[in-house]
A and B are shown apart, each in its own frame.
Chain A
């Protein structure tokens, strides 16, 4: 019936509940422990991932005897999220992508954690660009940014070799990408370069390709209003590039309906030479799609022009808005322990890396720091002995990513605008005579109508 008596929790809870009534015991089980349901990994992860999680759960519960952690399979999906939230079947702690955090906090679908983050003292350590994505207009914070990535160009080293290209010297400009794609298609019969096109990923990757050419698909007027700029030169150039790879060079392959999962599948199966996706995708490629590590290569996205930058993304650990105070306090403890400490503390970082490596999980996949670059690079030194991903095959990315300007995803109605761009990408890929200017003008008008709602 009572909130657990740990000083820390009581302290946090006291701040959180200033003036509110004491938390009820909905989240407590018979033994007086607080039950905390946390999202783990997507359904269908392998047994090793479960082992790793169980080991970590045990470690946490030893440190926090008053919390009972229950791991739930969880995968962020926009379609099911609102329904799960309304139906009360969301975990207490889960992660959401940056793309959606603004929309969610504006909808009141996330828990305010400003006081807790201040209490833990890492408000100032966060990369401000990233923290901005979880902050509302009043400066309240709604989540813990836990992991970020930059868009990278992934390539298959085997196909490079078969096509007579040097896998240690990947393309550095879009023209070189196009030439390499053509060579791969001619020499191996596989797709040289492909890009996602459905379920909003078409818009997502087109936005990344736009940023790489110095454009952007919307401008932010600073007080909650947005202007759609879908018909900018960067987007036109990105679509023209797709058109040329597909129709002029015949190097795109035969699949114009790929999304995040299916393009990974194609790539892991060795049917695809190059594609763009988040730099952290290696883990999924090897763990979920059965890719052979030695085939994998990663480099930075070619940037074209002075304004060009690399689209980034990532995810945020958040708490369900419907939990009681005791559960919220436990949730903060868990997020701090499971997601944040390994970024800040040597012992925590080592323990986490060792646990993952012992269960054959990927350790050392290239990321972007959510805190500072110094802390991130230091943490890589801490865990050096446990790194098990072929970082030498990712050197082109690791060496050059710091020279690139990171660009955040558009914030206004992100997914809806992405959804509007999907058909544009599909039209260019499936109709040789698609009128890029007309398609973008129409999409731009539709996007502006959405943003004005």
Chain B
């Protein structure tokens, strides 16, 4: 009996080891590659490869090359080594732009991170008309961003007859200079950005809330937990993973904020809303006709490296924090 089991066990071990060390593959030569259908694989992948290299990879490589050159796109470029990077780092506006970008990201987290979660939790508690609420919440996301900004520009009109100022007037608050003062310009931008982006986050949180096992809520209810206790002890821990992912994604997105400052204020008043991306744009287009394309690409490369590091951290962490 024992011998039988032993041999069986050994056989099993053998089987396992045999499975885990595969037979040595024949050496790959162009010929075997061709015979094995390598050509059709390549042809199959070719359109994608061509499109990607033309429109994605070659511009990336070109901009890295350009960041080491002085060029105006017309006369021959000169190689200047790391001069562009040095010039950008010496620019007093860079510090301001980085701080402004961080301020935007920070304010966007304060205003924009808890709000969609709160809305999603509220909406998940609603029993009827769920579809309608979801549609309403998602509506701002459907409005084209440029249109949304131009619309809010009208709302933010600083004269007493502006939309928001009229509303404030009803409750006796004097007209505010929304976009026209360095102190209130950035929060005004963040408010609009939050309004525009919250819908997408709400939908994602709603989906995540559906995945929370209802038994947990039932158990909490049996224990006599109030709605806030349920949210705190059941919902939030269950959403931990998704919350973290959304946080990283939002940081990466807000680090690249351009549209709002570009359209609302052009970076003003007095550079109070210049962001890193807007600074890149200014290097390339605003200040000189030849364009400081070298400095613009140098700053782009630096930003890309920082964001790549962030993304890498994100992947590392999400591996560990996997939601399952």
Interfacial residues, chain A to chain B (CB-CB below 8 A):
78-83, 85-86, 100, 103-104, 107-109, 197-200, 253-257, 321, 413, 415-416, 419, 422-424, 426-427, 429-431
Q: Which residues of the partner chain A approach B179 to less than 8 Å between Cβ atoms?
A: 257
Contacts of A427 in B (CB 8 A): 269-270
Q: B74 to A79, Cβ gap below 8 A? A: no
Chain A hits for B180, CB < 8 A? 254-257, 430
Q: Is the CB of A422 within 8 A of B73?
A: no
CA distance A333 to B122 in the complex (A): 72
Which of B72, B73, B269 has the most chain A CB atoms closer than 10 A to its own CB?
B269
Q: A257-B265, A257-B268 are in contact. Are A321 and B74 (CB under 8 A)?
A: yes
| Docked complex Cα distance between A245 and B159 (Å) | 16
Q: A255-B180, A257-B268, A430-B177 are in contact. Are A200 and B74 (CB under 8 A)?
A: no
Shortest distance from the beta carbon of B33 to any chain A beta carbon, whole Å: 40
Stretch binding the partner chain, chosen from B137-145, B203-211, B238-246, B287-295: B287-295
* B-side contacts of A104, CB under 8 Å: 289
* Minimum C-beta distance from B317 to chain A (A): 39
Residue of B nearest to A81 (CB): B289
The 9 closest A-B pairs by CB, nearest first: A79-B285, A86-B73, A254-B158, A426-B269, A427-B270, A430-B269, A254-B159, A426-B270, A423-B270
Q: How far is the CA of A79 from the CA of B270 in the complex (A)?
A: 21
How long is the Cα–Cα vector from A158 to B118 in the complex, in angstroms? Answer: 52
B160 contacts across to A, CB distance below 8 A = 254
The docked-state distance in angstroms from the alpha carbon of A430 to that of B286 is 23
* Inter-chain contact B270/A108, CB cutoff 8 Å: no
Is there an interface contact between B268 and A108, defined as CB atoms closer than 8 Å? no
15 contacts between A and B (CB under 8 A): A79-B286, A82-B73, A82-B291, A100-B289, A109-B289, A197-B268, A198-B265, A198-B266, A254-B158, A254-B162, A255-B158, A256-B180, A416-B287, A427-B270, A430-B181
Task: Tell me the B residues contacting A by CB distance below 8 Å.
Answer: 72-75, 157-160, 162, 175, 177, 179-182, 265-266, 268-271, 282, 284-291
* CB atoms of A200 and B73 under 8 A apart: no
A198 near B268 with CB under 8 A, answer yes
**Shortest Cβ distance from residue A434 to the other chain B in the assembled complex, whole angstroms:** 8
Q: State the CA gap A64–B282 with chains docked (Å).
A: 43
Pick the most buried of A79, A103, A199: most chain B CB atoms within 10 A of its CB: A79
Residue from A82, A200, A419 having most chain B Cβ neighbours under 10 A: A82
With A and B bound together, what is the CA distance between A199 and B287 in angstroms?
A: 9
How far is A431 from B270 in the complex, measured between Cα atoms in Å?
Answer: 10
